[in-house]
């Protein structure tokens, strides 16, 4: 039987989109039902929820700022999805990125290169933290879902420990660092509302990830591995290496979100400052069908609902747990819709032995033609084995 070849096509967007829209509608239905239970005036609560994010300039700024962070974390998740992996370590990578960025900013003060160096440190921190589950997956066969989840806890406690023991001023009543120098921060555009520059940076990150995945040789290799690791190895691709590189690069992108939080929102390190941002980024990636080009739209929509949830806690006296219910229901429903495709990709594990570590030459035009031809020359059984898609495989 010939080796199964990737089809070059992702999940059918029309059917997948319909299922995701249905899942989102069910989630909203659950939320509205919860409003009816906990609020004496559910109609007002719903109205505040739907309009709270744009009710005044300050809330618009809050919405756009949070959405910018979701764009970066969502793009990070999309990258690993395209390699057939399912990691949830973005939150820990954000914490480590914020920690290193803060250490550099506090150490260098208001120097002209402080912001640039601190942002680079955040990306490096996320890269190194993503490297751990990446290498464990590639060379030890460890489940990346488990390792990345557990590393979130390690990163959170490490962040809190360093902040409390070494960075909190003596007169502070809460674990926070000193404020960064005024020159160390991302600016805003306008004042009423103030549009954070991090929003533009988030869009740029999403476009860059999309371009790399769809327009570069490296991205082509990642997509081949995402379709079928065994087919990729048979065609000379270093499957293990591509897997750990993808996870580590995803960590670098997530680390940038830590710099965005530190220098664009809080302007200092605060214990728990990134709690939940990684899992919200996962939801955004699922809503965007794992397509980085669609992440900005999904991030703005999800950030809008989250900001509305923050508003109704104040204006309608609705507990924050109600909004958490919405987020949980959305994650469960959407993950149920798309997880099956990822599971099929995960069953095609990378080969073991010395051949998996060989460094092949780059794919040339003839090799790409072979891959395309294989999709039409395989036997019928091979065609039935071929489909091992990750969520939103195509761009």
Burial category of 4 from C-beta neighbours within 10 Å (exposed 0-12, middle 13-18, buried 19 and up): buried
The verdict on residue 344 lying in a domain is: yes
Residues of the chain scoring pLDDT < 50: 1-11, 345-346, 348-363, 366-367, 370-371, 373-395
The verdict on residue 43 lying in a domain is: yes
The verdict on residue 394 lying in a domain is: no
Give the pLDDT of residue 47: 85
Tokens describing residue 331: 């994650």
d(CA 19, CA 273): 33
Give the pLDDT of residue 386: 35
Give the pLDDT of residue 57: 92
Domain of 115, CATH number, reads 1.10.3470
pLDDT tens digits for 339-393? Answer: 555 555 445 444 433 334 444 444 455 445 544 544 443 433 333 333 333 344 4
The verdict on residue 4 lying in a domain is: no
Contacts of 359 (CB under 8 A, 6+ apart): 238, 241
The verdict on residue 232 lying in a domain is: yes
The verdict on residue 383 lying in a domain is: no
Give the pLDDT of residue 361: 44
The verdict on residue 60 lying in a domain is: yes
Give the pLDDT of residue 341: 53
Give the pLDDT of residue 14: 60
Give the pLDDT of residue 25: 79
What's the domain range around 85?
Answer: 13-372
d(CA 345, CA 332): 20
d(CA 199, CA 216): 25
Burial category of 355 from C-beta neighbours within 10 Å (exposed 0-12, middle 13-18, buried 19 and up): exposed
- Taking the alpha carbons at both ends of the chain, their separation in whole angstroms is 30
pTM of the model: 0.79
In total, how many domains does the chain have?
1
Give the pLDDT of residue 332: 74
The verdict on residue 295 lying in a domain is: yes
Whether 101 contacts 69, CB under 8 Å: no
């Amino acid at each position: 039987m010939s080796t199964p070849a990737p089809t070059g096509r992702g999940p059918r967007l029309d059917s997948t989109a319909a299922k995701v829209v249905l899942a989102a509608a069910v989630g909203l239905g659950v939320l509205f039902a919860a409003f009816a239970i906990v609020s004496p005036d559910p109609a007002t609560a719903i109205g505040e929820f739907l309009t709270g994010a744009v009710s005044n300039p300050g809330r618009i700024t809050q919405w756009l700022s949070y959405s910018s962070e979701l764009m970066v974390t969502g793009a990070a998740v999309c990258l690993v999805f395209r390699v057939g992996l399912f990691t949830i370590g973005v939150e820990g990578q954000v914490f480590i990125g914020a920690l290193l960025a803060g250490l550099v900013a506090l150490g260098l003060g208001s120097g002209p290169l402080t912001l640039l160096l601190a942002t680079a440190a955040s990306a490096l921190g996320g890269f190194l933290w993503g490297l751990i589950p990446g290498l464990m997956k590639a060379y030890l066969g460890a489940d990346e879902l488990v390792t990345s989840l557990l590393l979130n806890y390690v990163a959170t406690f490490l962040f809190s420990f360093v902040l409390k023991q070494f960075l909190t001023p003596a007169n502070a009543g809460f674990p926070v660092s000193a404020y960064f120098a005024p020159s160390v921060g991302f600016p805003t555009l306008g004042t009423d509302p103030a549009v954070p520059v991090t929003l533009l940076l988030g869009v740029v990150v999403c476009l860059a990830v999309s371009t790399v995945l769809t327009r570069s040789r490296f991205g082509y290799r990642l997509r081949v591995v995402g379709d079928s690791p065994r087919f990729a190895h048979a065609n000379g691709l270093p499957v293990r290496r591509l897997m750990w590189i993808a996870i580590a690069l995803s960590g670098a992108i997530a680390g940038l979100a830590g710099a965005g939080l530190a220098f664009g929102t809080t302007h200092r390190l605060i214990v728990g400052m990134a709690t939940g941002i990684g899992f919200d980024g996962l939801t955004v990636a699922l809503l965007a069908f794992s397509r980085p080009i669609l992440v900005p739209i999904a991030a703005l929509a999800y950030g809008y609902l989250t900001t509305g949830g923050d508003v109704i806690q104040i204006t309608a006296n609705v507990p924050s747990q109600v909004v958490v219910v919405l987020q949980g229901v959305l994650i469960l429903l959407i993950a149920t819709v798309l997880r099956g495709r990822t599971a099929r990709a995960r069953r095609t594990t990378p080969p073991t032995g010395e051949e998996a570590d060989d460094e092949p030459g780059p794919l040339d035009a003839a090799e790409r033609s072979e891959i395309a031809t294989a999709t039409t020359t395989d036997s019928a059984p091979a065609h039935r084995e071929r489909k091992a898609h990750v969520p939103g495989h195509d761009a």
